[in-house]
Amino acid sequence: MTKDIAYWSQVAQNAVKDEQAFTELYEHYFPRVYQYLLKKTCDHHLADELVEKTFISMYEKLSQYDPDKGAFSTWLFRIAQNALNKHFGSKAVTMHATWEDNFDPAADTATPEQQTLNTEEMTELREAIMQLSEREQRILEMTYWLDMKSGEVAKALGMTPDNVRHVLMEARKKLRVLLSAKEN
């Protein structure tokens, strides 16, 4: 059985009073939320801390979830984004890791210089993404970081798959323009 938006909405509603339903939600969404926060922070310890805050907040506010207002996944990822925003305050969420954090002496495919260059490119990409609309950012994140298909993104955001693909195409065009401007 494919578990869709309606299924997870029902599980979320049941999880208010049913420990087994809560466990199912946690086990399903933990890796997705962790991956999302790790990609945003590039820091395992910080991602762990923010995931913990996200799920504590989810537990405390679960009775407030209203499936008529949107998918459970959208609601949960908004909590994760809020935890991230709260941690970084008013600063844009662009993290800069030090050279030592990125250098992996066991990695034989990239030199320290190449690893540093890759980190700089990722920083530029994150800065460019932050210039997109929240909707565009969310679609990019769900598509590339959470590895969701356009149909899954559409269900989570209450859009059509064609609309998701269109927004994704436009967001990629904007990113190309923003990144090429940085090169010049």
Same domain, 86 and 4: yes
Same domain, 139 and 179: yes
Q: Give, as one character, the DSSP assignment of residue 144.
A: I
Q: How many CB atoms lie within 10 A of CB 123?
A: 15
* pLDDT value of residue 103: 36
154: exposed, middle or buried (Cβ count in 10 Å: 0-12, 13-18, 19+): buried
Q: List pLDDT tens digits, range 43-102.
A: 888 989 999 999 999 999 999 998 888 888 888 988 998 898 888 774 444 433 333 333
CATH of the domain at 87: 1.10.1740.10
Q: How many CB atoms lie within 10 A of CB 147?
A: 10
Q: List pLDDT tens digits, range 4-54.
A: 788 888 999 999 999 999 999 999 999 888 888 888 888 888 989 999 999
* pLDDT value of residue 184: 62
Same domain, 65 and 144: no
| Alpha-carbon distance values, 144 to 3, 32, 89, 172 (Å) | 21, 12, 25, 12
Same domain, 6 and 79: yes
* pLDDT value of residue 102: 38
Residues of the domain holding 135: 112-184
Overall domain count for the chain: 2
Q: Give the Cα separation of 25 and 7 in Å (integer).
A: 11
* pLDDT value of residue 98: 34
Same domain, 116 and 85: no
* pLDDT value of residue 55: 93
106 lies in a domain? no
* pLDDT value of residue 112: 53
103 lies in a domain? no
- What global pTM score does this model have? 0.55
Residues with Cβ within 8 Å of 169's Cβ and at least 6 positions away in sequence, in order, are: none
Same domain, 127 and 164: yes
Q: List pLDDT tens digits, range 104-139.
A: 333 444 455 555 556 667 778 778 888 889 889 888
CATH of the domain at 125: 1.10.10.10
